[in-house]
Structure 1
Amino acid sequence: MKYLILISFLFSFYLSTAQYNRALFDSEAKLKIWFDSLFSRNETRYTLPDSKKIAFSDSIRRELVSVLNIEDAFSFPFDSLTKLGKLTSSDSLLRVFSWNIRLKGGKYIFYGFVLYRNHLSSNIAKVIELTDKTDSLPDNEVENLTLSGKQWYGASYYQIIPVNEKKQKYYILIGWKGYNAYVNRKVVDVLFFNKKGKPLFGKNIFKSE
């Protein structure tokens, strides 16, 4: 019986590897090394010098820029990257990746990517890198701003809610934001795409009385 189980496991593994480009597995292995270094079990992310935290995250960012543009990257699970936030919308058209680092003094830097495809049959998604610009945004006005991916109010997202309204689709993103050593925030943002397919954050859909 144990031999049958082993054969079944090997056959399933073969099917999974045959389904995806080998480069996706190779890239995942590299990313795992960097994430493990950044978020090791002894919490070195709080004791590493800030320069090393940023260097590891920059390596991760550059690798993701490359790997997410490979065919079938949208559906690739990246299961071993447990410290990378990975969300897929219920309509299977949007994926969001995010992670963060905490620097000395309590400041956080957030990193993220959005993958979007127009059709379920598409194997290649549009990849948009998100750049955390929290420090340059007016804190008392940010909730009223519409921002591009290059002006992102960084957050680690944990829920996506697709919404269809008046023939327009948008996504409500719910996330966590470590603002400083003393303040954490819950972020509720709206991601939508303009007529040119450019992602924007901050659509005004919430009514206030």
Structure 2
Amino acid sequence: MIRHFLLLVLIIFSINLSAQESKEWAERLNALEVKLDPNNKRFELQELNKALHSIWKSDTELNEIMRHTKKLQVVKSEDLEMVVVAFGTNTYSGVYQLEWLVSYAGKSWSYSEEVQITEAKSNVPLIINITQKQEDIYSVSIHRGKKQLISASDMVTKGLFEDLQMLTEDTQKDSLNNIIEKQLMRLWTDKEYYENTFSQLKRMKTLHSKDGRVKVCTYNIQKEGFKQQFYGAVIINDESIIVKPLTDTSDKIKSPERSTLSDKKWYGALYLDMIETQSGNQTYYTLIGYKGHDEFMKRRVLDVLIVQNNRIRFGAPVFKTDRLTRNRVVFEYSAKATMMLRYDTNQKMIVFDNLAPADPMFRGVYQYYGPDFSYNAFKFSKGVWELKKDIDLRNPKRQ
């Protein structure tokens, strides 16, 4: 009897404590209205996000908060499985800071976004929409008046990518990535999503060819010992959607600059840009990629993708350097250095830092290489990317 009484007292105490925390949280949100310092506002919004992530256990806490403030917006999906919560305020001039949280299947994720706005008023309401496209695929959009702040095609995959970054063991990462790959395959194979840039999946880079025929999605996972493993797919837009999942076999490719590869034998990279060129009837999709780094070296790559009869091939003898012609170009340099490698749309060239050893005695030992403040470029002519040395660049951007 005494045990039951003590349990009842504990439950009542927990409910009262939860109600008090919810009320205090709402009062902090309301108090933002009178704050003037934008840095203070930014900090407080982020702290409120963390606090809500901790307080929010069920609808009870949200209902209690909404008793004390109208500045929190809450929307549920039609199947009641997903809940999206959002709040925010103007910080700097022309900037709105949105804090939003998502709950689904026992998981919760929180996000913070700064969005450029033209509406100066601080009391413009947030509008949240959740649309269930397929089982486990929910798109979410958040508007502030007519301004779209967020458009996420698949909130579950977005959240799983966030979970992936928190794991430390390779076995855990591999297990979760298997789920992510299955989820992505559903998006990749659906023609409705072909034009989608998946901009809210920030852990994955998505590139579209200008001719509308090819889409390339890539992402990486850092494994133990600085090992980088790459994943993704080439999606071909034909009469139907054809998906070619990519298998990273970088460690087994002994001569990457001379190798012709396929989707099943891929020199994995996170592709940051795609340049489309034509020679005769052949279209070349040249890819600028980042291969990550270990404790000594970074690597970047120029590769080329060819699509024929709905088959794909990586690598072709189109990179002409001095007397050599390579299937792809691999840049290796010190992990402490930064290298500029980008496509210059004005000059229509791939421009990059010339890499050299810090001392001539380290020639060929790439962990001691870095930019020497001169620049080279590849310019496409007569079916090949031809090397141009010592070009003049103004204000190059490094990555």
Structure-1 separation of matches of 2:265 and 2:177: 18
Is 1:55 equivalent to 2:187 in the alignment? no
| Greater strand share, structure number | 2
Deviation at 1:179, TM superposition (A): 4.8
Uncovered stretches (5+) of structure 2, i.e. residues with no partner: 1-118, 140-152, 323-399
In the TM superposition, residue 103 of structure 1 has moved relative to its aligned partner by 1.2
> Which residue number in structure 2 is paired with residue 201 of structure 1?
314
Displacement after TM superposition at 1:182 (Å): 2.1
1:112 equivalenced with 2:232 (yes/no): yes
Shift of 1:73: 1.7
Note the 1:3-42 alignment, pairs <5 A. 22-23=133-134, 25=138, 28-39=154-165
Paired-residue identity, %: 31
Secondary structure of the 1:56 match is: helix
Deviation by residue 1:123-157 (Cα, 9 ceiling, x = unmatched): x432110000011111xx11111101000000001
TM-score by length of 1: 0.79
Q: Which amino acid letter does the alignment assign opposite residue 298 of structure 2? A: N
The answer to whether the Cα contact below 8 Å between 1:83 and 1:99 also exists between their aligned partners in 2 is: yes
If you compute each CA radius of gyration, which structure gives the higher value, 1 or 2?
Answer: 2
Which letter does structure 1 place at the counterpart of 2:280?
Answer: K
What's the Cα RMSD here?
2.6
Indicate which of 259, 281, 291 corresponds to 1:177. Answer: 291
Q: In the alignment, what sits opposite 1:158?
A: 272
Structure 1's consecutive aligned runs of 4 or more residues displaced over 3 angstroms after TM superposition are 24-27
Q: Is the 8 A contact 1:134 1:154 kept in 2?
A: yes
Deviation at 1:174, TM superposition (A): 0.4
Which of residues 215, 220, 242 in structure 2 aligns to 1:126?
242
Partner secondary structure for residue 174 of structure 1: strand
Shift of 1:33: 1.8
User: Do 2:197 and 2:207's aligned partners in 1 also have CA atoms closer than 8 Å?
Assistant: no
**Equivalent of residue 301 in structure 2, options 170, 175, 187:** 187
SS of corresponding position for 1:207:
strand
> How many angstroms apart in 2 are the aligned matches of 1:73 and 1:63?
13
TM-score by length of 2: 0.43
- Cα offset for 1:77? 3.5
Can you give the 5+ residue segments of structure 1 that lack an aligned partner in the other structure? none
Aligned residues: 186
Q: Give the distance between the partners of 2:317 and 2:154, measured in 1 at CA.
A: 37
Bigger Cα displacement from structure 2, 104-113 vs 55-64: 55-64
1:143 aligns with 2:257: yes
